[in-house]
């Protein structure tokens, strides 16, 4: 289909008219923007779109006269700071014209799409003292503040659970004051205190990696089981007790309350230590007596056991063990003396030595001088060591002996060649300084068969 010359002419005329119209509109709008701000223009958030400098000045002045800043707080609460309360005043002083001069009238097309909020740091003046007083009066800063709290941890029969953090409503006053100053200077009508980071928040929340790691570590610890063996008796330590020892610090680090661990070990010691405790003892004569005191028996090394226990739990090692002992007895039976022991009846002044249930030797002895206050103490002791050809020294004496077997400090069994008679009531007035004086043959027989640590039972009927 061919276009006639007449049609071409009409088309050309139409294009020319359209271009002229557009150019006319462009120039007409450009003339408008000689005295008016671009559409979408703002100065410190005050809307001056399409206004002249004078209109913008009046607009901003009017808005400042009625200015108030809304503070949007947590929990839906809101407060205001009014311009009148802080002596807020308009202070453009020719700056609106300078902002307008930066907008080129004939560059209005790209200017509309690139226009931004014009900023001036001193568009307004206010009394800082009045502002501080207004801030101090805010309800969000009163004494009903709920402090933020980090995530915490709760032990249940299923293990540890995370207890959510508490955000509270405590304001960072310095941050709030700075945010208010910035908002007023920029002409903002509202600030959200949450978005402006004006609150003091918990450092760790339930979503924090640190919180999850801490919960897992706590559960690893309480899932550890320690089984203590005490002969045919056992004590099982598990999370029901361990959780009472665990503490979480402000940085979610897990620590052990050593005082609580020591209480547990103290209980073990109280239940299973036998040193010095009353014991039922059946004498050679068949009498059932109680013997208290002495140094023999089981004794847990409490300080070392506390360390070992904490170390095992930290290593997450479930295990069966004996406690660390500072000294051990022969057995864990009710009578932990066993069937190898020395029996000394200080009333009858007689000694018996049994080994594996069989009598090795026995004979009369002389024990400590009762009238001189040197009576040999009753109790169950253990042989500390044995020594040949020792010299016993004390205040006013030095006595060589062939067989020395100490069991209670400086008190021990030994031969006494200066005595020709043993037994009877000699001990009441002419006894030893506390030692058990024995005939040479008796001391020799005991010495040859006894081992270090053997129980020595001393008693009065």
For the chain, which domains are there? Answer: 210-327 (3.10.20.800), 341-459 (2.40.440.10)
Average pLDDT of the chain is: 88
Measured distance CA(454)–CA(329) in Å, rounded = 9
pLDDT band at 114 (very low <50, low <70, confident <90, very high): low
Higher-pLDDT residue of 429, 18: 429
* Tally of CB atoms within 10 A around 67: 22
Look up the pTM and report it.
0.73
Among the options 198, 414, 433, 458, which is catalytic? Answer: 414
pLDDT average, residue stretch 36-40: 71
pLDDT average, residue stretch 393-406: 91
* Tally of CB atoms within 10 A around 110: 10
pLDDT band at 329 (very low <50, low <70, confident <90, very high): very high
pLDDT given for residue 377 in this prediction: 97
pLDDT band at 36 (very low <50, low <70, confident <90, very high): confident
* Chain centroid to CA 210: 14
pLDDT average, residue stretch 56-71: 74
Q: Is 435 a known active-site residue?
A: yes
Q: Is the pLDDT of residue 152 over 80?
A: yes
Measured distance CA(41)–CA(62) in Å, rounded = 17
Measured distance CA(86)–CA(307) in Å, rounded = 64
HSE-up of residue 407 (Cα within 13 Å, Cβ side) = 34
Measured distance CA(4)–CA(449) in Å, rounded = 143
Higher-pLDDT residue of 405, 34: 405
Q: Is 433 a known active-site residue?
A: no
Among the options 140, 198, 435, 458, which is catalytic? Answer: 435
Q: Is the pLDDT of residue 108 over 60?
A: no
- Are 299 and 327 in contact by the 8 Å Cβ rule? The answer is yes
Measured distance CA(149)–CA(222) in Å, rounded = 25
Out of 76-80, 121-125, 407-411, which region has the weakest mean confidence (pLDDT)? 121-125
pLDDT band at 28 (very low <50, low <70, confident <90, very high): low
pLDDT given for residue 63 in this prediction: 65
Q: Is the pLDDT of residue 367 over 90?
A: yes
């Amino acid at each position: 289909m061919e276009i006639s010359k007449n049609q071409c002419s009409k088309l050309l005329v139409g294009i020319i008219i359209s271009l002229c119209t557009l150019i006319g509109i462009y120039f007409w709008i450009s003339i408008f923007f000689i005295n008016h701000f671009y559409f979408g223009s703002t100065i410190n958030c005050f809307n001056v779109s399409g206004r002249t400098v004078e209109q913008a000045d009046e607009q901003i002045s009017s808005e400042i006269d009625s200015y108030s800043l809304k503070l949007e707080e947590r929990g839906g609460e809101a407060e205001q700071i009014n311009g009148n309360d802080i002596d807020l005043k308009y202070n453009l002083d020719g700056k609106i014209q300078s902002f307008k001069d930066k907008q080129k009238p004939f560059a209005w097309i790209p200017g509309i799409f690139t226009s931004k909020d014009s900023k001036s740091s001193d568009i307004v003046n206010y009394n800082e003292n009045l502002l501080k007083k207004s801030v101090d009066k805010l309800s969000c800063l009163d004494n009903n503040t709920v402090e933020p709290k980090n995530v915490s941890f709760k032990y249940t029969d299923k293990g540890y659970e995370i207890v959510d953090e508490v955000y509270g409503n405590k304001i960072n006053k310095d941050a709030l004051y700075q945010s208010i100053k910035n908002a007023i200077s920029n002409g903002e009508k509202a600030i959200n205190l949450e978005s402006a980071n004006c609150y003091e928040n918990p450092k760790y929340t339930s979503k924090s990696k640190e919180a999850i790691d801490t919960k897992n570590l706590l559960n690893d610890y309480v899932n550890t089981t320690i089984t203590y063996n005490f002969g045919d008796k056992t004590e099982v330590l598990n999370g029901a007790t361990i959780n009472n020892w665990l503490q979480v610090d402000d940085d979610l680090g897990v620590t052990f309350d050593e005082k609580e661990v020591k209480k547990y070990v103290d209980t073990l010691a109280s239940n299973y230590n036998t040193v010095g405790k009353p014991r039922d003892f059946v004498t050679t004569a068949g009498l059932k007596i109680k013997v208290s005191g002495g140094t023999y028996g089981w004794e847990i090394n409490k300080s070392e056991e506390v360390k070992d226990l904490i170390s095992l739990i930290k290593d997450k090692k479930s295990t069966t063990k004996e406690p660390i002992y500072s000294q051990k007895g022969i057995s864990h039976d009710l009578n932990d003396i066993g069937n190898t022991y020395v029996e000394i009846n200080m009333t009858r002044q007689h000694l018996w030595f049994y080994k594996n249930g069989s009598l090795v030797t026995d004979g009369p002895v002389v024990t400590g001088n009762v009238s001189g206050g040197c009576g040999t103490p009753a109790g169950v002791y253990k042989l500390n060591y044995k020594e040949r050809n020792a010299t016993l020294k004390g205040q006013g004496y030095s006595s060589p002996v062939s067989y020395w077997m100490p069991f209670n400090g400086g008190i021990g069994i030994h031969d006494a060649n200066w005595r020709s008679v043993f037994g009877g009531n000699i001990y009441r007035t002419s006894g030893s300084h506390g030692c058990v004086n024995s005939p040479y043959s008796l001391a020799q027989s005991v010495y040859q068969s006894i081992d270090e640590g053997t129980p020595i039972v001393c008693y009065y009927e």
